[in-house]
Structure 1
């Protein structure tokens, strides 16, 4: 988020944004407890403000309120994945179908995210690979030039990060193939090849959804 945009947000919105970003980056994995008093001290704000923030994140499906445990970062289920991909297809395919493709600053951000994912891959930092992939897809949605949809997709990205974390070995889902496919989509966008970009993204999302559902099934079987 640009600093000038952040400056226009309320205190609670700024904290919500930061906590959401911490989920996207993997700093707050599923099951992490969010303690009002500690967060109020960290962000130098009142517990009432933090309570408002946590209820907002609850409405976004990012945290849950557990009896006798308080507020924890949510663990997502298979049905949540299907809902997320309905939203992803709606936003990302619409962005490629109707968005303004030739936005140099945005295209630079797409490339930067992919290159950052490549650097993370070389270091075998699988969590960072996934985070940069989410950044790339955030920039795809930004082709629509809608701050409202941008903010909505940040919530989708945060929920996707929680899905990624459902597999203890994220290496199994953050493979080099996804980076190459993102490069290909980015190249199609840069060359204004809208129809081909749509086809490539459709296949990407179909394969991604299937892979995540298989990963969740694998993890569920391991606990039986």
Structure 2
């Protein structure tokens, strides 16, 4: 199936998001919806986004949709190809390295500064861990990947900074594009479920330093695996 065909299949799901626009149908809100869809894996890298199909599904004008595309292009999630249209961006090895550089700076700092005494501080973190474990039991690997993204969003939210939350939404959406290089998402994501649970337990025990150490090792291993997959992909393309 081509990227264009995949894109048309997934556009139908956007109709359920139409109600979210309400009376405040703006380019920023459309961008929010599309960003979330990218983060959830609905639009794989290289997918062409049809203005007509997406605009019709969301009930927005072409100008509004084009502005949303422009915003997401600025966030490095989309790319405009002359005379071809707008496509979900394919992440490079250099992008991968930079994504993980930002993740270490932001996620580890969020754990260091987390207010763990606040009632319900860890609710979102725990919910993401449970969602991931449930997805694994149900063998729903796309949902498992989404739960993992939500886990890291919840870690960053512990910093209590809306600006940091906004920054990481884009970074983690880019990360989801990276996940598509893994041929076996179960083999990649499932081992991290236990590590997510251990980070949650360290935070629940009031040990953010231990949680940070666990997260640092986690990010190192994750980057190493993804970099290896990229190397194999590039090598295979060259041989072909």
TM-score normalised to structure 2 length: 0.85
Q: Secondary structure at the residue paired with 1:137? A: helix
* CA distance in structure 2 between the partners assigned to 1:52 and 1:153 by the alignment: 21
Q: Which residue of 1 aligns with 2:188?
A: 173
Q: Which residue of 1 aligns with 2:216?
A: 202
* CA distance in structure 2 between the partners assigned to 1:155 and 1:164 by the alignment: 15
Q: Which residue of 2 aligns with 1:141?
A: 156
Q: Secondary structure at the residue paired with 1:26? A: coil
Structure 1 residues 198 and 127, CA gap change in structure 2 (3 angstroms): same
CA contact (8 A) 1:173 1:212 kept: no
* CA distance in structure 1 between the partners assigned to 2:25 and 2:97 by the alignment: 33
Superposition deviation, residue 31 in structure 1: 1.1
Superposition deviation, residue 10 in structure 1: 6.1
TM-score normalised to structure 1 length: 0.91
Structure 1 residues 102 and 220, CA gap change in structure 2 (3 angstroms): farther
* CA distance in structure 1 between the partners assigned to 2:173 and 2:230 by the alignment: 17
CA contact (8 A) 1:26 1:131 kept: yes
* CA distance in structure 1 between the partners assigned to 2:118 and 2:195 by the alignment: 20
Q: Which residue of 1 aligns with 2:82?
A: 67
CA contact (8 A) 2:25 2:60 kept: no
Superposition deviation, residue 201 in structure 1: 0.9
* CA distance in structure 2 between the partners assigned to 1:159 and 1:215 by the alignment: 16
Moved over 4 A (4+): 6-10
Q: Secondary structure at the residue paired with 2:87? A: strand
> Map of 1:14-163 to 2, 5 A cutoff?
14-163=29-178
Structure 1 residues 74 and 196, CA gap change in structure 2 (3 angstroms): same
CA deviations 1:178-204 (Å, max 9, x no partner) are 010010001111111021111111111
Superposition deviation, residue 101 in structure 1: 2.2
* CA distance in structure 1 between the partners assigned to 2:128 and 2:176 by the alignment: 16
Structure 1 residues 109 and 41, CA gap change in structure 2 (3 angstroms): same
CA deviations 1:161-183 (Å, max 9, x no partner) are 000012243233212x2010010
* CA distance in structure 2 between the partners assigned to 1:50 and 1:135 by the alignment: 26
Q: Which residue of 2 aligns with 1:190?
A: 204
Q: Secondary structure at the residue paired with 1:65? A: strand
